[in-house]
Amino acid sequence: MIRTVITGVTGRMGSTLLRLARDAEDLKVVGATQRPGGAAVGLDAGLAARQGALEVQVVDDLGRALDAAKADVVVDFTSAEVSVAHAKACAARGVALVVGSTGFTPESTAALAESAKSIPIVAAPNMSVGVNVVFRMAAELARVLGSGFDVEVMEAHHRLKKDAPSGTALRLAEVLAGALGRTQDDLTFARHGMVGARPAHEIGVQTLRGGDVVGEHTVFFFGEGERIELTHRATSRDQFGLGALRAARWVVGKAPGLYDMADVLGFQRSAS
């Protein structure tokens, strides 16, 4: 049994993860957290996530949850800032970590990498198998099509999403830039006013927000007289959750390092 702690259990992903983990035969949920002052603190985690009772009490501090339960792994979908603090709590106790949070800055990424010097961490902006295949397909298309096609990324998410563009769209843009020999400086995140003709080197990233959209990403390759669109549509959060639990099984017992879903899926080996 892999002893698992889920953070942010009343969140959209936290409650999804709790349901999927309790249904998994090889995982045991031994801890659950919510932010300090959250209404679920002190309640049964299953009931707090609007599911059946689990007999695990929600606590407001990951360190305390880890001290109370001998955990193998923490699965964390909260926010970048909170995930950095959670990584420190895991590093102090030698517990492996899976991070799905997005909105990382270069500073928070560096802080996560610091914790990954003492524990194995899988961090990925999108844990679905489909999206990770799309990353590879997008890079391949960009390489094959080359500079004759204008590349744009568009993402759509529900109205409650806090960060923009999505972590997935940012990763797509980085992957495309890498494949085309371009850099972060070539990414354009908004256009408004007299912006002039589109420079060939640009990679545009556009954000839509509304309703209950789970997550949609399209890469457009606009050519002369033709275009290619590569789209992934998530219609359920379960694929993110199942991917995260696959990462949780994989990461336990690995050497310290910062890993990606590509490592989990066997696409590459790139601990840093």
Ligand X SMILES: O=C(O)C1=N[C@H](C(=O)O)C[C@H](O)C1
**Residues annotated within a binding site for (S)-2,3,4,5-tetrahydrodipicolinate:** 158, 167-168
Q: How many CB atoms lie within 10 A of CB 270?
A: 11
Interacting partner of 101 out of ligand X, ligand NDP, none (Cβ under 5 to 8 A depending on kind):
ligand NDP
Q: Is 240 in the site for ligand NDP (CB under 6 A)?
A: yes
Residue from the set 4, 31, 33, 258 that interacts with ligand NDP by CB under 6 A: 33
Give the Cα separation of 163 and 158 in Å (integer). Answer: 11
CA angle, corner 131, sides to 177 and 126, nearest 5? 90
Residue 157 annotated in active site: yes
Active-site option among 28, 70, 88, 157: 157
Is-contact 209 158, C-beta < 8 A? yes
Give the Cα separation of 231 and 222 in Å (integer). Answer: 14
Interacting partner of 157 out of ligand X, ligand NDP, none (Cβ under 5 to 8 A depending on kind):
ligand X
Give the Cα separation of 181 and 163 in Å (integer). Answer: 27
Active-site option among 70, 86, 117, 161: 161
Residue from the set 78, 79, 168, 218 that interacts with ligand X by CB under 6 A: 168
Which two three-digit tokens encode residue 135? Answer: 């990353």
Residue 217 annotated in active site: no
**Rounded least distance, CB 84 to ligand NDP, Å:** 11
Give the Cα separation of 147 and 222 in Å (integer). Answer: 11
Stretch that binds ligand X, among 16-24, 44-52, 162-170, 254-262 (CB under 6 A): 162-170
Residue type, 264: V
Is-contact 242 100, C-beta < 8 A? no
Nearest to 245 by CA among 133, 98, 102: 98
Strands (DSSP E) found in the chain: 2-6, 27-33, 58-59, 73-76, 96-99, 120-123, 150-157, 187-188, 203-209, 215-222, 227-234, 257-259
Site string for ligand X, 142-161 (x = CB under 6 A): ---------------x---x
Residue from the set 4, 101, 115, 206 that interacts with ligand NDP by CB under 6 A: 101
Q: Is 166 in the site for ligand X (CB under 6 A)?
A: yes
Radius of gyration of the chain (CA): 19
Q: Is 125 in the site for ligand X (CB under 6 A)?
A: yes
Site string for ligand X, 202-241 (x = CB under 6 A): -------------x--------------------------
Residues contributing to the site for ligand X (CB under 6 A): 102, 125-126, 157, 161, 166-168, 215
Active site residues: 157, 161
Residues contributing to the site for ligand NDP (CB under 6 A): 7-8, 10-14, 33-35, 38, 77-79, 82, 100-103, 124-127, 163, 167, 240
